[in-house]
Amino acid sequence: MSPISFSSKNQTRKSALSQKVLASLIVLSVFFVAFYLWQINDLATKGFQIKGLEEKIASIRENNKNLELQATDLQSLSNIEKLEKDLNMVKVNKVEYISTFNPVAVR
């Protein structure tokens, strides 16, 4: 065997090995880039979902506040007095209770 031939085989092996390593690095890089893009897309989508839910919460809180104000207004004394007049009710001066100390059905 001549030294040139041994050196040439060694370089061929090194070249094949470096090509495999380079191909592996390229595949790994493509995988990481694809994974990164997927994460960024997923994060952006979740951000839009969160923003939509926060807007919905704000809308529901505003609606709840309006309903509480409406309930307070309907329970106010002035509203009850107005309903009293509209329904032709009269105020009671003296309240009489019926007492039933005798049991109705005894066995």
Residue 73: predicted pLDDT = 92
**C-alpha–C-alpha distance, residues 63 and 69, integer Å:** 10
**C-alpha–C-alpha distance, residues 67 and 74, integer Å:** 10
Q: Fill in the DSSP letter of residue 36.
A: H
How confident is the model over 47-95, as pLDDT tens digits? 999 999 999 999 999 999 999 999 999 999 888 888 888 898 888 888 8
Question: Is the per-residue pLDDT at 103 higher than 70?
Answer: no
State the amino acid at position 29 in one-letter form.
S
| Per-position b or e across 4-40, b if 16+ CB within 10 A of its CB | eeeeeeeeeeeeeeeeeeeeeeeeeeeeeeeeeeeee
Residue 98: predicted pLDDT = 81
The lowest-confidence range among 4-13, 35-44, 62-71, 83-92 is: 4-13
Residue 49: predicted pLDDT = 96
Domain residue ranges of the chain, discontinuous segments joined by +: 3-86
Residue 95: predicted pLDDT = 87
Q: What is the mean pLDDT of residues 20-34?
A: 96
Across the chain, mean pLDDT equals 87
